[in-house]
């Protein structure tokens, strides 16, 4: 059944307005809001909804505009629909390329860890890195996921603080935060010129840390977790870490203040 060009034109305008709103003002307002630190799970869902809805609205606006224009200018309508298809392919292609890149990097990283670490005899799926700096991170790999702890961390933390760090890292694994981080990394990679894509990736990185903190808080007092976070944050930026996560600790002071303030 053919689509009425007038309806398509109205749809194109409406979708363009939605896409524009989700591209600039809505993400800025969300990034500046204070409530996400109190409800990181809802904020994370909202960021994902903004990204998905914004992408679909942008593509839908181009398709609708092409359908509306086609009866008047066939070539112009075809170009708009072609741009929409190209944009969809661009986004999906970057998602696939980013996933493949992260998987390859994690495999290389796991090979390196096999050479530099030894299994922790008292903790399953945990390895010890012979390094003086305080290091703790998880390397997602499905059922083969591991938690990496350094000897420097073991020496600096109390048993309670160490338990807090391990609970935090295990929360990342069980809640599959790596999937969300890779998706937003792909969005940023696909649209490097778009500042909101970078801002979204930064905000999501903070939210998954808050969610992991909340997971650890179920079994650990807040002050103990805060001290552990501060200790791990002292690790130099060049220290080994999961290739799929941000290179710098996201807003550590805000995380600590949230726990003790």
State residue 205's pLDDT score: 93
Contact 161/171 with Cβ under 8 angstroms?
no
Contact 260/223 with Cβ under 8 angstroms?
yes
Please tell me whether residue 237 adopts helix, strand or coil conformation: coil
Below-70 pLDDT ranges, the chain? 1, 234-250
Which residue, 165, 157, 12, is CA-closest to 77?
12
First to last CA, the chain: 61
State residue 196's pLDDT score: 85
- Give the H or E element holding residue 148: strand 146-150
State residue 14's pLDDT score: 97
- Per-domain residue ranges of the chain: 5-260
State residue 232's pLDDT score: 84
Q: What is the DSSP string of 94-146?
A: HHHHHHHHHHHHHHHHHHHHHHHEEE-TTSTTEEEE--SS--EEEE--GGG-E
State residue 192's pLDDT score: 86
Lookup: tokens for 260: 């003790």
**Which residues, 6 or more positions from 26, have their beta carbon under 8 angstroms from its beta carbon?**
50
Please tell me whether residue 24 adopts helix, strand or coil conformation: coil
Q: What is the pLDDT of residues 176-204, one digit of tens each?
A: 999 999 999 999 999 888 878 888 999 99
Model-level pTM?
0.89
Strand-by-strand arrangement of the 136-139 sheet: 117-119, 126-129, 146-150, 136-139
């Amino acid at each position: 059944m053919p689509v009425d060009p007038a309806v398509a034109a109205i749809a194109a305008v409406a979708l363009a307005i939605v896409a524009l709103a989700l591209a600039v003002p809505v993400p800025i307002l969300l990034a500046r809001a204070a409530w996400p630190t109190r409800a990181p799970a809802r904020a994370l869902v909202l960021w994902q909804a903004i990204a998905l809805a914004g992408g679909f609205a942008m593509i839908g606006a181009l398709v609708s505009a092409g359908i509306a224009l086609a009866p008047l200018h066939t070539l112009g309508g075809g170009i708009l629909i072609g741009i929409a298809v190209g944009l969809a392919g661009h986004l999906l292609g970057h998602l696939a390329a980013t996933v493949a890149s992260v998987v390859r990097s994690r495999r290389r990283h796991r090979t390196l860890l096999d050479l530099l670490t030894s299994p922790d005899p008292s903790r399953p799926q945990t390895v010890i890195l012979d390094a003086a700096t305080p290091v703790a991170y998880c390397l997602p790999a499905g059922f083969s996921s591991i938690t990496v702890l350094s000897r420097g961390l073991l020496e600096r933390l109390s048993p309670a603080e160490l338990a807090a760090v391990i609970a935090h890292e295990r929360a990342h694994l069980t809640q599959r935060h790596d999937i969300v981080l890779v998706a937003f990394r792909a969005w940023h990679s696909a649209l490097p010129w778009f500042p909101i894509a970078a801002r979204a990736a930064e905000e999501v990185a903070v939210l998954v840390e808050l969610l992991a903190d909340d997971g650890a808080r179920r079994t650990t007092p807040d002050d103990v977790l805060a001290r552990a976070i501060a200790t791990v944050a002292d690790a130099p930026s060049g220290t080994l870490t999961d290739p799929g996560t941000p290179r710098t600790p996201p807003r550590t002071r805000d995380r600590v203040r949230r726990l003790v303030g």
